[in-house]
């Protein structure tokens, strides 16, 4: 509450507020400092989730409820500072999904954009508009907004992946739409991997040709680990390391060279054993997954040990340093794409 002088003035103001409340009017001067801040003060907090802990609860859920009953058997990674909001940072959602052998997560589509980062299992698939993306550990698979998708596991091992969606962003705009297909699985329209052949090698079918079959704004939806790991390793072998990021590569949409989806950016980093990044702040909240190795995330000077497959949320404008105990590979996704479109994104490097 703002300081407005004498007790008499305060009483007059309180009487004014009470009188205008039935007209749904409130005074800006009482909340201006909270609305227009000098720098971000996220309600989200830094938090780490142990993959082994998540996995144990997921497997218990798998014994109780089927993927079909749940539609999506997912444990939400809810930030302790955003209780009840189903959000890992204010603009993004994250969850860990389990598909057991023989199960199907039925076909649907929605306005929300989603990514899947595979944590465990090999050979299950996500179908996007009738094309299967066969999923292997640390593959990145996208299900862009309003594209039909289902998941199925015909292997003999569980399949687990991290879901990242822009659910809170879509909720902000009251723009959520969803549909369910009558069939559990979308009819297969092309062979698995077809999109990678057409759009995944810095080439694309000639515009206007019958081969140019994917949506022009979002042609690629599968980024295999084997490919991105080789690219990251190759770059690290031939380039100087960035003191604040380590070796870092961003996943792009080949249609425009921008972020993988309109609201979500994603990248990978490699830090050699013994390397420590310099302090850095950025306005995008970022969710990191440890792909390989061990290390420590120093966030505002507080240590958070990192083990393989751990997940850590670093909200906006927290000072981050990364220390690699062994060679460390990280995957990260954030709301940077939205912020750049709105001319909001900023960073500060020490």
**Cβ burial, residue 45 (10 Å; 0-12/13-18/19+):** middle
Q: Which residue has the tokens 């809810």?
A: 78
pTM summary value: 0.94
Per-residue pLDDT tens over the stretch 229-243: 999 999 999 999 999
pLDDT at 2: 56
How many angstroms separate the CA atoms of 169 and 146, rounded? 15
Answer whether 153's CB lies under 8 Å from 124's CB: yes
User: Following CA atoms 328, 329, 331, 332 in sequence, which dihedral angle do they give, to the nearest 10 degrees?
Assistant: 40
Q: Give the residue among 314, 287, 318, 286 at the shortest CA–CA distance from 41.
A: 318
Q: Distances from the Cα of 245 to the Cαs of 235, 266, 271, 301, in angstroms? A: 14, 14, 8, 17
Write down the domain spans for the chain: 47-349
pLDDT of residue 4: 59
What's the chain's Rg over C-alpha atoms? 23
* 269, 297 Cβ separation under 8 angstroms: no
* Mean pLDDT across 130-147: 96
Residue 3's pLDDT band, with cuts at 50, 70 and 90, is low
pLDDT of residue 208: 84
Pick from 96, 80, 1: nearest CA to 42: 80
Secondary structure letter of residue 29 according to DSSP:
G
Domain 47-349, architecture per CATH: Sandwich (2.60)
DSSP string, 113-127: -EEEEEEE-SS-EEE
154 vs 43: CA distance, rounded Å: 41
Average pLDDT score over the chain: 95
């Amino acid at each position: 509450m703002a300081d407005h002088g004498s007790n008499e003035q305060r009483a007059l103001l309180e009487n004014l507020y009470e009188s205008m409340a039935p007209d749904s009017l409130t005074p800006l001067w009482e909340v201006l400092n909270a609305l227009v801040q000098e720098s971000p003060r996220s309600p989200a907090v830094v938090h780490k989730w142990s993959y082994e802990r998540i996995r144990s609860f997921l497997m218990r859920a798998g014994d109780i409820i089927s993927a079909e009953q749940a539609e999506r058997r997912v444990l939400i990674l809810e930030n302790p500072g955003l209780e009840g909001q189903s959000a890992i940072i204010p603009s993004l959602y994250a969850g860990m999904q389990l598909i057991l052998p023989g199960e199907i997560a039925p076909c649907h589509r929605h306005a929300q954009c989603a990514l899947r980062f595979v944590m465990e299992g090999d050979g299950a698939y996500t179908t996007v508009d009738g094309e299967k993306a066969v999923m292997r550990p640390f593959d990145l698979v996208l299900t862009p907004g309003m594209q039909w998708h289902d998941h199925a596991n015909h292997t003999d091992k569980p399949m687990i992946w991290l879901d990242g969606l822009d659910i809170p962003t879509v909720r902000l705009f009251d723009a959520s739409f969803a549909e369910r297909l009558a069939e559990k699985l979308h009819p297969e329209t092309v062979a698995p991997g077809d999109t990678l052949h057409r759009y995944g090698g810095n080439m694309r079918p000639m515009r206007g040709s019958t081969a140019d079959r994917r949506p022009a704004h979002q042609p690629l939806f599968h980024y295999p680990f084997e490919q991105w790991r080789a690219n990251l390793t190759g770059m690290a072998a031939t380039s100087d390391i960035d003191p604040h990021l380590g070796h870092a590569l961003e996943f792009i949409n080949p249609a425009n060279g921008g972020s993988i989806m309109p609201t979500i950016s994603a990248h990978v980093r490699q830090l050699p054993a013994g390397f420590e990044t310099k302090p850095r702040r950025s306005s995008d909240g970022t969710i990191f997954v440890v792909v390989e190795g061990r290390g420590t995330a120093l966030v505002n000077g507080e240590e958070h040990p990192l083990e393989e497959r751990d997940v850590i949320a670093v909200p906006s404008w927290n000072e981050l340093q990364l220390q690699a105990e062994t060679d460390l590979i990280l995957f990260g996704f954030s709301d940077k794409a939205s912020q750049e479109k709105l001319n909001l994104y900023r960073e500060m490097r020490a």
